[in-house]
Chains A and B, each alone.
Chain A
Amino acid sequence: MTTQPVIAIEGVTHAYSTETGPLPVLEDISFNIAPGGFTAVVGPSGCGKSTLTKLVSGLLKPDAGRVILDGKPVTSPRPTVGMAFQNPVLLEWRSILRNVLLPLEIVRGHGLSREAAEARAHELLALVGLSGFEDKRPSELSGGMRQRASLCRALIHRPSVLILDEPFGALDAFTREDLWQIMFKLRIEQRVTCMLITHDLRESMFLADEVVVLSDRPAGIQHRLTVPLGHDRTIEDLYKPEIVECLAELRRQIQIAQGRQPATEEAA
């Protein structure tokens, strides 16, 4: 593809300063995500995956290298980014509708009238199956429903980039599969470019076009895998032999990253 990538991560290196000296977390990470693309980042826990989301969103600055969003280097947080975390962080004192509308109170010049904004919120909530819950408080919703509302909030201001930091990690297995399907629908219909951090390999296969495996801290890129699935996926696809093979490969790469299995071949 010759189109300019929406997310370009170029040689990003980052270390946290701790009392015992600098703790290197990420080392020379580079990958691109094309417009409308979806890349999942997996890796051993504590390897710095969440740090990567903070670098891409501009909440942290890399020590070396740079992140380019929509052709411009990231120097500070940008309103063209949407974020969702494992904790849905809905504001308990607001209705679901007002929670979804929150980003529009921050982002300037979104050009949406109050009515248009509410119409978009209703549309997004309908897309994730939360029609009729607009006036409920977050405490009245289940964990899965809260996470769906949080996805709507992340998309309300039409971000070009959606950063997902293990948003389905705290859900039970069945709810999680529901949300995968909703997320896949959202990514197609909202034409947003996504970066997902996860430790669920099946999740990464179902949602992403490409899976990036990070090595243990300081994390570099251990392996990259293109998902052999198109835009018409079902959960059943995860049981196809070629997908099962990919999953086994990802698992093996993670084990190499954790140092539990000797590397037989050097990954790119």
Chain B
Amino acid sequence: MSKQSNRLIRQVVVPLVSIVIFLILWELLVWWRDWPNYKMASPSDLTAAYQKYWKLFFVYGWQTLWRTVLGLLISVLFGTALGMVMGFSRVARDALYPLLVGFNAVPKATVVPVIALLFIGADNTNTVLMAFMISFFPIAVSVSVGLNTLETEYRDILRALGASRLTVFWKIALPKTLPEFFGALKVAVTLAFIGTNLVEIIEPHGMGLGHLFDSGKINADYPLMFAVLLALAFLGILLFYAVVLLEKIFAGWAEKPDT
């Protein structure tokens, strides 16, 4: 077998098979325990929900997706900037770490009503803000640690030629931090989804998959609720692999060769 097809099998077929096996086990579990829909819907019940509401899935799915991605983008910009400040300045690190850890420890569900009061009616703002707030922490920490642990020799080879701090940052510190940055971004992607859905479910405003989940709950349409969960998982996987793709492009050099 050629190396190429070998890789295709490993990277595409194996994950797909494992998903199918998971769905079969789920189906079997529900069938074996003979659970009714309101206890746990089985995958075979969900097709009806998808058929009936497929338009809504697209509309709401898109609303969830763009708001999550926007929140994530802000998080990348803000987190990187914050990480830079903390990575370069000891004082900033000492000053900001306790604040950040404290902020990160506050359950975000409790923050949802607070920001809803701050920006009444600004539903997109609220949602994007929450996606951002919940996801910037790992990015800031990884960038700060990456810069902070840069070996002095790396700095010195350029500084000895008269390079400015900014040049050292662009040519060495930033690219060298990319693997850690992408590691954090993978965590941030999932977190941003949780942020978006928190707002959609706790402060219902008729948008996003969270809203669809909520209407499923109100109408006692249990298969719809499970169908939404599955759709969310799908979007999460989609976004995660988008990050993996970016990582391959920008930090592929850090990957260990196959053995």
Given the known inter-chain contacts A85-B153, A92-B253, please indicate yes or no for A79 contacting B175, CB distance below 8 A: no
Q: Mark B99-111, 1 if CB is under 8 A from A, else 0.
A: 0000000000000
In the assembled complex, the Cα of A173 lies from the Cα of B160 at a distance in Å of 29
Contact present for B158 and A106 (CB under 8 Å): yes
Given contacts A102-B171, A105-B171, contact A83 B162 (CB under 8 A): no
Question: Do residues B162 and A93 form an inter-chain contact, with CB atoms below 8 A?
Answer: no
14 contacts between A and B (CB under 8 A): A57-B156, A58-B160, A59-B160, A77-B162, A83-B156, A89-B151, A91-B175, A93-B178, A93-B253, A93-B254, A103-B161, A105-B171, A106-B162, A106-B163
B interface, how many residues as a size bin? 20 to 34
**Pairwise interchain contact B160-A57, C-beta atoms closer than 8 A:** yes
Interchain CA distance A107-B161 in the complex, whole Å: 7
Contact with B along A90-109 (1 / 0, CB 8 A): 01110000000011011100
- For chain A, the count of residues having a C-beta within 8 Å of the partner chain is 26
Residues of chain A touching chain B, judged by Cβ–Cβ distance below 8 Å, are: 54, 57-59, 76-79, 81, 83, 85, 87, 89, 91-93, 102-103, 105-107, 137, 139, 153, 157, 163
In the assembled complex, how far is the CB of residue B246 from the closest CB belonging to chain A, in whole angstroms? Answer: 15
Nearest-neighbour CB distance to chain A for B29, whole angstroms, equals 46
At the interface, yes or no: B241 with Cβ under 8 Å from chain A?
no
User: B157 contacts the other chain (Cβ, under 8 Å)?
Assistant: yes
Known: A91-B171, A93-B176, A106-B171. 18 other contacts (CB 8 A): A57-B160, A58-B160, A76-B162, A77-B159, A77-B160, A77-B161, A79-B162, A83-B160, A89-B151, A89-B153, A91-B172, A92-B254, A103-B157, A103-B161, A106-B167, A107-B161, A137-B253, A139-B253
- Closest partner residue, chain B, to A153 (CB atom): B157
Binary CB contact string for chain B from 172 to 186 against chain A (1 if under 8 A, 0 otherwise):
100110100000000
Type the 1/0 row for B142-176, where 1 means its CB is closer than 8 Å to any CB of A: 00000000010110111111110001000110011
- When distances are taken between beta carbons in the complex, the residues of chain A under 8 Å from B156 are 54, 57, 59, 83, 85
Contact B162 A89 (CB under 8 A): no
In the complex, number of A-B residue pairs with CB atoms less than 8 Å apart: 63
Q: Which residues of A contact B154 (CB under 8 A)?
A: 89
- Distance (Å) between the CB of B118 and the closest chain A CB? 42
Asked if residues B161 and A106 are in contact (CB atoms below 8 Å), the reply is yes
Taking the nearest CB of chain A, how far is it from the CB of B228, in angstroms?
41
Please, which residues of chain A bring their CB within 8 A of the CB of B160? 57-59, 77, 81, 83, 163
Shortest distance from the beta carbon of B135 to any chain A beta carbon, whole Å: 26
Q: Which residues of A contact B161 (CB under 8 A)?
A: 77-79, 81, 103, 106-107, 157
Which residues of B lie under 8 Å from residue A102 when comparing CB positions? 157-158, 171
**In chain B, residues 226-259, which have Cβ atoms closer than 8 Å to a Cβ of chain A?**
251, 253-254, 257
When chains A and B are docked, how far (Å) is the Cα of A137 from the Cα of B153?
19
How far apart are the CA atoms of A105 and B154 in the complex, in Å? Answer: 15
Q: Which 10 A-B pairs have the closest CB atoms?
A: A93-B253, A106-B161, A57-B160, A106-B163, A89-B153, A77-B162, A85-B153, A83-B160, A77-B160, A79-B161
The smallest beta-carbon distance between A130 and chain B, in angstroms, is 18
Bound: A54/B156 CA distance, A:
9
A202, chain B: closest CB distance, angstroms: 25
Residue among A89, A107, A137 making CB contact with B157, cutoff 8 Å: A89
